[in-house]
Every structure is written in structure tokens, then in C-alpha cells.
Chains A and B, each alone.
Chain A
Amino acid sequence: MTARTLYDKLWDAHVVHHYDDGSALIYIDRHLVHEVTSPQAFESLKLAGRRPWRVDANLAVFDHNVPTDDQTVIHDPISRLQLETLERNVGEWRIPNFRIRDPRNGIVHVVGPEQGASLPGMTIVCGDSHTSTNGALGALAFGIGTSEVEHALATQCLVLRKAKNMLVRVGGRLGPGVTAKDLILAIIGRIGTAGGTGHTIEYGGEAIRALSIEERMTICNMAIEAGARAGLVAVDDKTIDYVRGRPFAPAGELWDRAVAIWRDLHSDPEAHFDRIVDIDAGTLPPQVTWGTSPEMVVGVGDRVPDPAAEADPIRAEGMRHALRYMDLKPGTPITGIAVDKVFIGSCTNSRLSDLHAAAAVIRGRHVAATIKQALVVPGSGLVKQQAEGEGLDRVFKDAGFEWREPGCSMCLGMNPDRLAPGERCASTSNRNFEGRQGPGGRTHLVSPAMAAAAALAGHFVDVRRY
């Protein structure tokens, strides 16, 4: 048998039908649903007189719109209607779901793995581009639009054309104070936001093997920011240990059978990749984005780059536009940039290990007087409970952070958590697009440790020396 990549294996196992034009009908094992991208799909499904193909393959959560201060009442009537619409749809079709204030509810890509609803070897889709997060478990997981949400609901399949294989091979080990977030930002900086377009990215190499599953989720989460719909990491002992005992995971004899199959979820040694990118983790400093695209990123010891030094005129104009929006001048040291707000949360960095990393920096210290707001938003009710069990809520609150209820929050500001025009934020989220965290808001993407350090200093600092 020819050598196959992990992506090849996952793809092959899910082909229901090959079309003559080269596309394939791919079976979907898990469909994660949230309130924003599903209402129009449920409506169309009903209008067409159709019904969900396999109800138990779905799991719904409420995350994008939910307030994070008080979840007992949704003040915004438009958000409330959207949340109520999902409640009605999951009720009508009896789709498994976690309601607001159920501790199992939270950000969809935190909940899936946490519950074992996302498992190795699965195909996992969701009407959300950060579904790639789930690929950290050795699953083929990717974001879809609302038409595909309806298609997945109605048929348990999607019509897809296979992507190319790309390997991002990370050698060496991340240094102290340098995290998975810094690594993925550096990868995006290297290959660009379109570098993975048309590809599925597998992350491999010594540095990836050394990462925890939660750290691998951070890396896979931002595959889409490198242009790839899906990011993957091969299954190893850490994956198996992570999944064991989770509510939706198999148990007993089925567990043993599952593990035997999951052990094969890695690329064969001779497998062909269409593109291989090598990155050395050992020399990497903490990263900070300076612009309005995740590829606009430099090391914390660097300066804001100068568009005049960019040879490509279109890119140079893009840089000038970004600098105007960000109100930054070329040559400014990154550590000279003061921030107004700090956000620790999002599907990229809101798991327990992220909160540990931030808490380790701030323990016993206090946010700078110039910081208007510092938010910690745990990824799920269970993450929040565990953190509180360890006393992390006190650490954050004593330092001047607000300790919030779970949700997507200021990553995209669909709920009331957002930046005011002109405000600058050190954020652990995934997108620094114009207006992403609020119209006119300025986002700098960083790791939880770097965000925590910026909160204490009032400006970016190298967390390794802080």
C-alpha cells in the first residue's frame, strides 16, 4: 500500500462516494452547532421539508452572543432572538446541546474536545472557521458556511474536493516563556495568511511532539489564519491520555478498540507532502502582531516594520494602510507600544493551561494604572470551575483583572465585550482585523503570558525578562 499522510488516511476513511469530476461525498462524524451560523440553515432545512439525517451526530452550544458578566439575562433583543432561535431549533429536532449557564457550555471549540465530542479519527465540522482547533486530536476538522451547515444537517455529508498536503515541521524546542501561540504566529508570519490556502496543514517535528494537547489546539486553531481550512497533529500517547475518560469518549472494550485504531493516525514515514516548511522553535522569541492581518507579526524585541523597505507595491500599500489604522509609526519598538485593554480568552487561548500561564506572570502583582480594562474569559464553564478550584480567580481578581463567565466575548465583540474606537488591546485571540474587537479598535495578538505581562507593565514587554 502506498504511504499516506494523516490527512490522506482521514479522507480515505470518510469517502462515501467519488464523483466523476474528482470531488467526493465525505461523511461527517461530528457536527458542532452554535447560534450564529445555524438559524438560516435550520430555516432552509424546514422550508425544504427536510429533517436532520442523524441527530446524535450533532452537538450545539451557545457561545458567540452570550454576555460574560451576567448570563441570566440577555439585554440585547437581537442577540436574545438568535439565542432563542437555537434553543427552539435544538428543541424541535432534539439535538444534544448545552444551555447557557450549564457548566458544560462554552466556546464551541473548547467544549468539543473537553467533552470528548471531538475524537481522534473523526471528521468534525462547524459553521465557524476555528473548527480547525479540533485537529489537534488527530481529527479532520474544518469550518463551513451556513449552506454547508444545512447540507451536513440534512445529509451527514459534504461534497468536497481534497486539499493538498502541507507539512509544517518544527524542529528544536520552544524556549522558556515562548509558547504555542508564539509558534503559530511565527508560522503565519513565515508562510503568510494565504500560505496554507488549498492545503491541509499537518504540524509535526520535535517541538510539536513536545506540546501538550491544549497547546496543539492553539496551533491548529490558527491554521485558518494561515489560509488552511484544517490543521492536524498526529495521535500519540498524549492524545490518548487526553481523550481517556471524557464524557462522550468510548469506554471499556470499545475504548481498547478505538485506541488500537487511533494508533495508526499519523503520516507514514514515506508519505508525500506537496509542500514542507521547516521552522526552528529554538530561536523563536515571543511574538506580537503590529498590523491588521495575523501575518503582520514580529518578535517582541523588534520594531514596527517600514513599508518603504517592502519591495512589493501592493504589500507596501497594505502595510501603510494597516499602520494608519493601528496608529503606529515604522521603527517604533514593540515594547514602546502602550495598551488600553487586555483580553485573555477565545478559542485560541482560554483553556486551563492558558489561564495557568497568565496567572504565573501576574501572581502577586497588579495591572498598570493606565489599563482601562483587563478581562479573563474562560473557554467553558468547566474551565472556569477548575480554575476557581485552584484559586486562579482570586489571582486574577487580586491583580485587577475581571473574572468573567465563558463565551467568545471580546475575540469578536458580538456580545457587549468590545473595544471603543481607538482603543488598543493586547489580546490572546486569533484575528487582528480592522474592527474585529469593536469598530476602530486596535488589536495586537499575543500569548496569554505576553498579554498578562502587558497588563502589568501597561505596554508590551518581553515576558522572558519580566
Chain B
Amino acid sequence: MEPFTILDGLVVPLDRPNVDTDAIIPKQFLRSIQRAGFGPYLFDEWRYLDRGEWGQDCSQRPLNTDFILNQARYRGAGILLARENFGCGSSREHAPWALTDYGIRCVMAPSFADIFFSNCCKNGLLPVRLPADVIDRLFREVIATPGYRLVVDLAAQTVTTPAGERITFEFDAGLKDRLLHGLDDIGITLQHAEAIRAYEARRSTEVPWLFSITVSAD
């Protein structure tokens, strides 16, 4: 996973509550067995006027010019400003894959759906929770200020506005460590292989029906 340390990014505002992962990346793209290449299809149904298909060249597709991501002033955005309950619905990790492939490395919202939040943290995409009134103010500032950028510092847990105001945010210490260092979760867990085996040994006597055909790992 690519570490997340400090991001200085252009902000694009997506002013809708309850943006679901079906909207972030529609179902037809979930047929892909790849992990990369979802960026051109991010928000596909909102972004284009035609129906997208996996593998299609998006450069010639008719754009929905009303959609925020298609406005020239937001081209190259690295931070998505969003509303409450962002990423609700399906557990598809294709949603953070599509966001990062597009170039978004941070989403800021008053709240996130739990599975989406977890998926982001496994893909170097930082989900920042800020109070609704702060998000509301950022929306106003972004819309009023072309070229509006924010600096997100995960180590310091701060968001710095162009005026120099530093807004702090809460973040889980364990997740922070993993994101800052781009750690391999599985590698860390396997350091506890002995504990897992001990747990299995105990449970296979307590609840043996869960271990009826035990195939233990090497």
C-alpha cells in the first residue's frame, strides 16, 4: 500500500449526502478481475451521458458537463469534499480503487459508511471526518475560491486551509500507523501466527464442530 503522509491537493466538492458505492463505481465494472484501471469509470453514471463498459476508451465519451468532476477548475483534484454517510451500500473495494486511480487521495466528510472507511484505509486513501459545520464552511470556501487547495497532514492530524487555519481531526491510532508507513496488514497479523494456532487448538476442543475437517496451515 502507498503510504499517506502529507497531501497538498486541489479540492473538488460533491454536494450530495449518502453517496453510495454503486454511484462511485457502477456494477458493470465489478466484472473486472483487475485491481487497477477503474479511474476513468469513477462516478460513471454521473460523469458521462452514455452507458460505460469495462475496457472502453473514455476519451471519446459524451461528458455530463454539469457534473462537478467535469468542470475545468477541478481538474487534477486530489481531495474530494463530501457530505454525510459517504460510501454507503455495497462493500466493493472497487470504490476506493476507482477514487485513487482517478487521483483522489483524501475524502473529507461529516461521516462515512463503516466498510468504505475500512476499505479506504487499506488503499492509502485517507478518510477524514470533520464536523458538519466545518464541512459546510469548506464547501462554501471551495465553491467561492477557484484553485482552492487544502494541506492534509496525517501525522499531525491537521487540515490547513489557504488562509493558514489549522483544523484538527480525530483518527484511529492503529490505522494511522498503518497508513503512514504503508504497512502490510497481513504481514503484521502473521507475526501472531502462534497466537492464532493456539486459539485454534483451544477452540477445536471447545467447539469442535467448527473444526470438523481441520486443515492447518504450515
Interface size, chain B (Cβ < 8 Å) = 67
Query: For the complex, is A73 an interface residue (Cβ under 8 Å from B)?
Result: no
A318 and B210 contact, CB distance less than 8 A: no
Question: Which residues in B have their C-beta under 8 angstroms from that of A194?
Answer: 18, 84-85, 88, 111, 113
User: For residues 161 through 196 of chain B, which have their beta carbon under 8 Å from a beta carbon of chain A?
Assistant: 172-174, 177, 184-186, 188-190, 192-193, 195-196
B16 and A321 contact, CB distance less than 8 A: yes
A82 and B85 contact, CB distance less than 8 A: no
User: For residues 9 through 40 of chain A, which have their beta carbon under 8 Å from a beta carbon of chain B?
Assistant: 16-17, 19, 21-23, 25, 27, 29, 36-37, 39-40
Residues of chain B whose beta carbon lies under 8 Å from any beta carbon of chain A: 15-18, 20, 22-23, 26-28, 30-35, 45, 51, 54-55, 83-85, 88-93, 96, 111-115, 118-119, 122-123, 172-174, 177, 184-186, 188-190, 192-193, 195-196, 199-200, 203, 207-210, 212-218
Query: For the complex, is A307 an interface residue (Cβ under 8 Å from B)?
Result: no
A147 and B173 contact, CB distance less than 8 A: no
Task: Tell me, rounded to whole Å, the shortest Cβ–Cβ distance linking A433 to chain B.
Answer: 5
Query: For the complex, is A168 an interface residue (Cβ under 8 Å from B)?
Result: no
**Nearest chain A residue, comparing its CB with the CB of B184:** A48
> Looking at the complex, which one of A82, A156, A161 makes contact with B172 (CB distance below 8 Å)?
A161
Interface size, chain A (Cβ < 8 Å) = 84
B215 and A65 contact, CB distance less than 8 A: no
Which of A49-57, A212-220, A329-337, A381-389 is found at the contact surface with chain B?
A: A49-57
Assuming the contacts A53-B196, A121-B207, A414-B27, asked whether A157 and B115 have C-beta atoms less than 8 A apart, the reply is no
Assuming the contacts A128-B91, A154-B190, asked whether A54 and B113 have C-beta atoms less than 8 A apart, the reply is no
Query: For the complex, is A159 an interface residue (Cβ under 8 Å from B)?
Result: yes
Task: Tell me, rounded to whole Å, the shortest Cβ–Cβ distance linking B40 to chain A.
Answer: 16
A85 and B89 contact, CB distance less than 8 A: no
Question: Which residues in A have their C-beta under 8 angstroms from that of B189?
Answer: 25, 151, 154-155, 157, 159
Task: Tell me, rounded to whole Å, the shortest Cβ–Cβ distance linking A281 to chain B.
Answer: 26
Bound Cα distance from A146 to B199, whole angstroms? 25
Query: For the complex, is A293 an interface residue (Cβ under 8 Å from B)?
Result: yes
B45 and A159 contact, CB distance less than 8 A: no
Question: Which residues in B have their C-beta under 8 angstroms from that of A52?
Answer: 217
> Looking at the complex, which one of B45, B195, B214 makes contact with A439 (CB distance below 8 Å)?
B45
